[in-house]
Chain A
Amino acid sequence: MIHVQKLNIKLGPFEIKNVNLEINKGEFLVILGPTAAGKSVVIESIAGLVPIRSGKIVINGKDVTHLKPEKRNISICYQDYNLFPHMKVRDNISYGLRFKKDKHHAKYSKNFKILIKLLELEGILDRLPLNLSGGEQQRVSLGRGLIGNPDVLLLDEPLSSLDPNIKETIQEGLKNIHQTMHTTIIMVTHDFTEANYLADKVALMHNGQIIQQGTIEDIFQKPKSIFTAQFTGLKNIFWIDIDEELKSFGLEQPAYIGIRPENIYIRNQPLNTYYQYYGKIESFRNNGIYMEIKLNAVGTRRNYISYLTLNRFFELKLEKNMPIYFGFNKKDLHVIEIESTQPDIHLPNDK
């Protein structure tokens, strides 16, 4: 169990304000947020690498706020691997054991075997880090972090500098490790798809503050701010304040609503979704894996964004300015109940 209470940090002009986190043993928490939100600073402060101004950090019932990093029984892995270049992979992995009092305990050799297997490191144990690929280096780095049974493993954007394919394998590896070893993990990332795949809990950060935290479902289904909604991929957000529309969306007072682009259906003929519109295709953009389509509903001045798989797109023979039906179901409609107000939020879709 890890508690972070009212954490305040000031590093030059940058501030972390009142961060509270709570992670149960064996949970996977993802701190999600855009670049320079202060995510890395938070986990470095849990590791004791950044001086904090006020607040309290408790790991497994022990107050570690004023302990040095080496006394906290944590380990940290970074985006850029940071393997010790002068040591073979084997020595890199077992580095942390040198400083353990019970270094010859059988549990560590057992850990070593499990990690070698889970992370597929058999073939590279006697090589130097310089000769390894990025994916291999990150696997070694994870093994090194996990061998000493840390109370919490801190991961600072571990997947960000990897190729997409390798990223997936390492994601799976991480998930396997988490399920096999029941390690508490806190990971920082800016990619909500990673959070979606890995996390039990998500904390969303922006400008040094936690905007919202909760389970994956909470964050994705019940965003409490426009920022959360936008950051987790909710592309269609509209301000509803006309009586008619309020009624049709079942709202009692003006509010923001949101629809995920993947929940908008497109057909050549009328469809049987709860809400439906007739409109035309404003533009589309091929993202390689899917097609991002901008739709304009006749009668409203709103633009909707929808995603289609490429084969579906070609099946429908869609073209620019083509008249089209589109719609979405009632269950996919998110009403955003704003709790935290965030400045500088722009709504590109709402005109």
Chain B
Amino acid sequence: MSYTEYISLIIKIKRCFILILIIGGNRLFHFRAEIIYIIAAITGFIILFFNVFPIINTFYWTDSATLIETLLDKEVLTSIWLSIKCASITAIIAFLLGIPLAYYLARHEFRLKIFVESLIDIPMVIPHTVAGICLLTVLSPRSVIGRFLEQNHIETLGTEIGIIIAMLFVSMPLLIDAAKDAFKGVPPRIENVSRSLGANQVQTFFGITFVLSWRGILSGMIITWARAISEFGAVIILAYHPMIAPTLIYERFTTYGMKYAVPANIILIVISIIIFIVLRLVSLGGKEKYDSRAKIKY
């Protein structure tokens, strides 16, 4: 099937889909044919198409032989493994560092709270290459911290540590925000009850609060992980080598072109999506059962 044939097929499917929406929308998607819902259905389709189609389309740019060849390519596998490993370590560090602060922010109001929250979110508004350069100024031997690290023989630039620092910088806010929301979902009064019954703060946190909010926190970790694995700009400035998958793909694309970039691309897409879906299912499963905010039916 040629590319043009394929495109026309897609257009046909799309037309059918819109037809179904308009004719059978009521029953199929449980909405009434109100104007905004119809617009939502159409724009929704555009959004999903926009998100999914480029990814699926990538698969048509290669063939199975090259794909298998790439799968056996040690360099590709190493870089993908490095990406997954660094992103996972980042998510765990973000978790350990972020949880206490997120809990405090969820439970207390203070004068400079908005200021503190803005500081936490700052990395999200800085372009990633800019963030990378900011980090580089800190880690270079010309700064106090860089000198300290050098004296203690801790190499950051061009190592996994550098990659993790870059990933952590850009993804930490996501974890803190998600964990804060998760903690806010646990009513403070349920903690009060637990305290009054003899549990101290730590026992209450692990016995009640964390048990009731871990799904929200896990989903925050997944977002953090996803953000970390997709980071490129800040990482290449701190550590071009060892190569994480996005760096490798970028390098192959600039040196050899599409033919060599796409197979690695596909492998990274597949692995990322599988991990993402699995973790998402874990974090969503059984949500109803424990959701303390769920309305009680009489």
Least CB distance, A188 to chain B, in whole angstroms: 14
Interface residue A181 (Cβ < 8 Å from any Cβ of B): no
Interface residue B78 (Cβ < 8 Å from any Cβ of A): no
B211 proximity list for chain A (CB < 8 A): 86
Interface string of A68-104 (1 = CB under 8 A from B): 1110111111101010111000000001101110000
Least CB distance, A108 to chain B, in whole angstroms: 12
A130 contacts B196, C-beta separation under 8 Å: no
Interface residue A209 (Cβ < 8 Å from any Cβ of B): no
Interface string of B271-298 (1 = CB under 8 A from A): 0000000000000000001111010101
Complex CA–CA separation, A130 to B297 (angstroms): 9
A134 proximity list for chain B (CB < 8 A): 296, 298
A82 contacts B291, C-beta separation under 8 Å: no
Complex CA–CA separation, A44 to B192 (angstroms): 9
Interface residue B9 (Cβ < 8 Å from any Cβ of A): no
Complex CA–CA separation, A72 to B192 (angstroms): 13
Question: How big is chain B's contact interface, by range?
Answer: 20 to 34
B192 contacts A47, C-beta separation under 8 Å: yes
Least CB distance, B81 to chain A, in whole angstroms: 36
Least CB distance, B235 to chain A, in whole angstroms: 39
B192 contacts A49, C-beta separation under 8 Å: yes
A70 contacts B208, C-beta separation under 8 Å: no
> Of A47, A70, A130, A132, which one neighbours B289 at CB under 8 angstroms?
A130
B201 proximity list for chain A (CB < 8 A): 68
Interface size in chain A (residues, C-beta < 8 A): 36
Complex CA–CA separation, A99 to B204 (angstroms): 11
Which of B192, B203, B298 is packed against the most chain A CB atoms within 10 Å? B192
A77 contacts B198, C-beta separation under 8 Å: no
A74 contacts B196, C-beta separation under 8 Å: yes
A82 proximity list for chain B (CB < 8 A): 187, 189-190, 192-193
Least CB distance, B111 to chain A, in whole angstroms: 12
A95 contacts B194, C-beta separation under 8 Å: yes
Interface residue A128 (Cβ < 8 Å from any Cβ of B): yes
A99 contacts B199, C-beta separation under 8 Å: yes
Mark out the residues of chain B between 195 and 250 whose CB falls within 8 Å of any chain A CB in the assembled complex. Answer: 195-201, 203, 208, 211-212
A70 contacts B199, C-beta separation under 8 Å: yes
B212 contacts A69, C-beta separation under 8 Å: no
A141 proximity list for chain B (CB < 8 A): 193
> Of B189, B212, B292, which one neighbours A78 at CB under 8 angstroms?
B189
Identify the A interface with B (CB < 8 A).
44, 47-49, 68-70, 72-78, 80, 82, 84-86, 95-96, 98-100, 128, 130, 132-134, 137, 141, 144-145, 148, 154, 163
9 A-B contact pairs sorted by A residue (CB < 8 Å): A68-B195, A69-B196, A75-B196, A76-B192, A78-B193, A86-B290, A95-B199, A99-B198, A148-B198
Identify the B interface with A (CB < 8 A).
187, 189-190, 192-201, 203, 208, 211-212, 289-292, 294, 296, 298
